[in-house]
Structure 1
């Protein structure tokens, strides 16, 4: 953000860091994305989020107790035209501009290199690198219209710490490269671009939580990859994302911020 535009976005201390801000978060119905949306709403933002199903978005709306300050739409972020329409609709709902964007949706398809198909690689790339690239591209005009803003992508420690599957790690590494490139490209417009790379997160009902309940010995062995023997909490990652979106990080761009509790290997396989 630059000049008077940045000054005009300063919230009061009582209103929260994001009072009056308009922020898009992909994949915000549950898990880490849900934590990000919850935090932004609590601090005064108007938020647009998407997920694969209307049912998951309806549940999220009830959970957050959200009203008009939350705009939702079901879609597949790997479909570029649907993602672009979502961003356009969100900006229109938010008076023609945006102040922040979080690319949180992502995923992986396929197994090891000899089993993964070309389609597995293409789908994993589209979910992660492709989705981030398209989101940044279509959000940039709206961020510029607001005088600048912040783009954050949720990458992964798998982007530089080797672990299966290769198609996932490669797509996450691509996100990190795009961050450094886009920070230079978009900086003249007052747009900051950063990444947050979570370690393995303990999310209720997800992989590591199931392991903890179903195979405690294996879980404890995996927890040894963390110096404090505790996995990452999604709210810890959400706090880091909110920092990068906020004016507190106005001098920060082009960085990758790991939130991994010092994790070594990203998977129980140990590599």
Structure 2
């Protein structure tokens, strides 16, 4: 089992998310996986989706081995019309309702302004803002019937601190604004909406981890963007997400919470 698949969390008594019915998009890798693992360890009833069925099976088996589960899953592309909405409905039917959703899936297409085309901008927008809006719209009737609930939108440091690529930063900035706007719109129904902006996370096998091993000098320069000299761990972000899903955060809505260790520039190139 690779490092990113190993268990990272153990339950430490009763939690404010215990028994809560939560759907997480993009839950098989990176931050999404750590969110699912933490919520599973704390007793939530979970559903997640991803594009690859094998990844979903592997995660489900891993959680079962650690004594957690069952995990309700579906392989789908979040940009496909109606597929995400169908999964939200299926989850609500399986769990007899919903208490929370986490819009974690996302991504970017294209490179710099002169290289990226209109389709790159459109796909980047749909993976981030479009998917979030569709997820929340599909979940609202079920959250409302449950008497309210919590929506957590995973944005990015790139949404509020400038860095390339512009299409990604613009989409993440829109997610932050969307969370604030929806918090006002859905507040009368008892539905809280918050955005979390992770800093640059050190995830096994991903960009910064590869830089650490392949370009140690460049990585050291980048790590200097963090006052403590260490990048953010996805588990640190997952704990904030769990808090926002929990009853302990009942007074928090419309907030934008950076989890970036006071990171300065979001990329090695600086501002």
TM-score scaled by structure 1?
Answer: 0.93
Aligned to 2:62: 63
- CA positional deviation for 1:153: 0.5
CA distance in structure 2 between the partners assigned to 1:224 and 1:68 by the alignment: 40
1:30 to 2:29 alignment: yes
Higher alpha-carbon deviation: 62-71 or 117-126: 62-71
Shift of 1:70: 1.0
Deviation at 1:269, TM superposition (A): 1.1
Q: State the partner residue of 2:20.
A: 21
Matches within 5 A, 1:245-264: 245-264=245-264
How far has the Cα of 1:20 moved from its partner? Answer: 1.8
Aligned partner of 2:93 in structure 1 is 92
| Aligned 1:158-237 pairs, distance under 5 A | 158-237=158-237
- Structure 2 stretches of 5 or more lacking a match? 1-11
How far residue 17 of structure 1 moved from its aligned partner, in angstroms, is 2.2
Relative distance call for 1:248 and 1:116 in structure 2 (3 A) is: same
Report deviation, 1:236. Answer: 0.2
Contact 1:80 1:134 in 2 (8 A): no
Alpha-carbon distance, 1:30 to partner: 1.6
User: Residue 125 of structure 2 aligns with which residue?
Assistant: 125
What is the aligned-residue RMSD (CA, Å)? 1.2
- Report the Cα distance in structure 1 between the residues aligned to 2:129 and 2:82, rounded to whole angstroms: 16
* Offset of residue 80 of structure 1: 3.4
The equivalent residue for 2:148 is: 148
- Note closer, same or farther for the CA distance 1:222–1:101 as it changes in structure 2 (3 Å cut): same
The SS at the match of 2:162 is: coil
Classify the secondary structure of the residue corresponding to 2:46: strand
User: Structure 1 regions of 5+ residues with no counterpart?
Assistant: 1-12
1:105 aligns with 2:100: no
CA contact (8 A) 1:23 1:98 kept: yes
Contact 1:155-1:172 at 8 Å conserved across structures: yes
Q: CA deviation at 1:134?
A: 0.4
SS at match of 1:251: coil
Distance 1:255 1:194 in 2: 5
**Inter-partner Cα distance in structure 1 for 2:152 and 2:191:** 11
Contact kept in structure 2, 1:45 and 1:69, CA below 8 Å? no
Equivalent residue for 2:81?
Answer: 80
Deviation at 1:14, TM superposition (A): 4.1
Deviations 1:20-55 (A, max 9, x none): 210000000121001000111111111000001100
Contact 2:17 2:247 in 1 (8 A): no
| TM-score (ref. length: structure 2) | 0.93
Contact 2:163 2:267 in 1 (8 A): yes
In structure 2, distance between residues paired with 1:41 and 1:165? 34
Q: 1:80 is paired with a residue of what secondary structure? A: coil
